[in-house]
Structure 1
Amino acid sequence: MGVWYATREDVMRALDSKLTARNSAQVDRALESASRDIEALCHRRFYPELGTRLFDWPNAQGARPWRLWLDDSELVSVIALSSGGTVIASTDYLLEPNRSGPPFNRLEIDLDSNAAFGGGDTHQRDISITGLWGYRDDETAAGALAAAVSSASATTIAVDGPAAAVLGVGSVLRIGTERLLVTGRVMVDTGQSLGGSGLTAQANAVSVAVSDGAAFAVDEVLLVESERMLVVDIAGNTLTVKRAWDGSVLATHDAGVDIYASRALAVARGALGTTAATHSLAAAVQRWDPPGPVRDLTIAEAVTQVTSESAGYARTRKSGEGGTSERSMDATALSGLRQRVYASHGRKARVRAV
Structure 2
Amino acid sequence: MKRARSRIKEELFALGVVLVVLVAFPAGLFGYQAWRAASAGVKIVEIVARAPEQGGFSPDRLSLQVGEPVRLRLSSPDVVHGLTIPGLGVNVDEIYPGKVVEVDVTPDKPGRYAFACTRWCSVNHWRMRGVIEVTGGSSLVMATTEPPLFQQLGIDLDATPHEAQATPSAKPSTDAGAALNAKLPQDLTDPATRRTLTPAGAFDDLRTDPANAALSDADIWNLLAWAWMKDVSPTALARAETLYARDCAACHGPDGKGKGPAGLNLPGMQKMDPAMPPGPADFTDPAHMLAASDVLLQGKLLRGGMGTGMPEFGSLYTDEEQWTMIAYLRTFLFAK
The TM-score, its normalising length taken from structure 1, stands at 0.17
More helix by proportion, 1 or 2?
A: 2
Answer with 1 or 2: which has the greater Rg.
2
Higher relative contact order by CA 8 Å / sep ≥ 6: 1 or 2?
Answer: 1
The TM-score, its normalising length taken from structure 2, stands at 0.18
